[in-house]
């Protein structure tokens, strides 16, 4: 809250929000879309479950649902962090970030994910990334005093569509006009709506 009702109309979507690491692995059929806002490590500052230990949900389950099951996959901000198997799906991952600062999001390619989105500026953690950018479509770059980074990208992975979006640390960023349009577009494209 308040983001999800702004991008998922309750008349069109049956949305399940979970912090249970075993929920996705317990599904019998791939959902239309998996949207991940969760980092892969236990956070000692904000107590959260480590989703990727041997006794909880395994990331290969998600990879199977995406590549084989055709579940669209969107990773937003800390959902891009430090999971090697996700790098195989996403072709990009978070390395580190400086403190929050002004960040410009510059749209660099025409794509359904960027349709109608114009450049915008936010106050956010400027994610520093590494990736196999030749295996995806780079759609936007982010720029700050800390340099320029890939900020939005999209591609097909097996039977699925995948999107990576680096901004999104705060509610203010996620619910800003530019981000909302970007997120709605990403949802519709990845879920084939």
Q: Which of 41-45, 108-112, 130-134, 184-188 has the lowest mean pLDDT?
A: 41-45
Tokens read off for 73: 């996959």
What pLDDT does 44 receive? 54
Angle at 18 between CA 100 and CA 47, to 5 degrees: 50
* pLDDT per position as a tens digit, 56-97: 555 667 777 888 888 899 999 988 875 655 677 899 988 899
Mean pLDDT over 91-105 rounds to: 94
Mean pLDDT across the chain: 86
d(CA 156, CA 104): 26
């Amino acid at each position: 809250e308040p983001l999800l009702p702004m991008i998922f109309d309750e008349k069109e979507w049956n949305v399940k929000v979970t912090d249970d690491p075993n929920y996705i692995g317990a599904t019998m059929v791939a959902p239309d879309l998996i949207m991940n806002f969760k980092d892969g490590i236990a956070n000692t500052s904000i107590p959260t479950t480590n989703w990727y230990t041997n006794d909880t949900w395994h990331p290969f389950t998600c990879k199977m649902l995406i590549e084989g099951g055709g579940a669209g996959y969107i990773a937003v901000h800390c959902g891009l962090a430090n999971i090697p198997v996700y790098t195989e799906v996403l072709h990009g991952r978070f390395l580190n970030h400086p403190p929050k600062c002004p960040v410009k999001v510059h749209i660099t390619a025409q794509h359904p994910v960027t349709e109608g989105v114009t450049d915008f500026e936010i106050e956010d953690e400027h994610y520093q990334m590494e990736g196999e950018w030749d295996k995806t479509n780079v759609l936007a770059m982010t720029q700050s005093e800390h340099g320029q980074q890939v900020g939005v990208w999209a591609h097909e992975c097996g039977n699925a569509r995948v999107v990576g979006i680096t901004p999104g640390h705060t509610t203010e960023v996620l619910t800003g006009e530019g981000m909302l349009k970007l997120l709605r577009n990403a949802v519709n494209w990845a879920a084939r709506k």
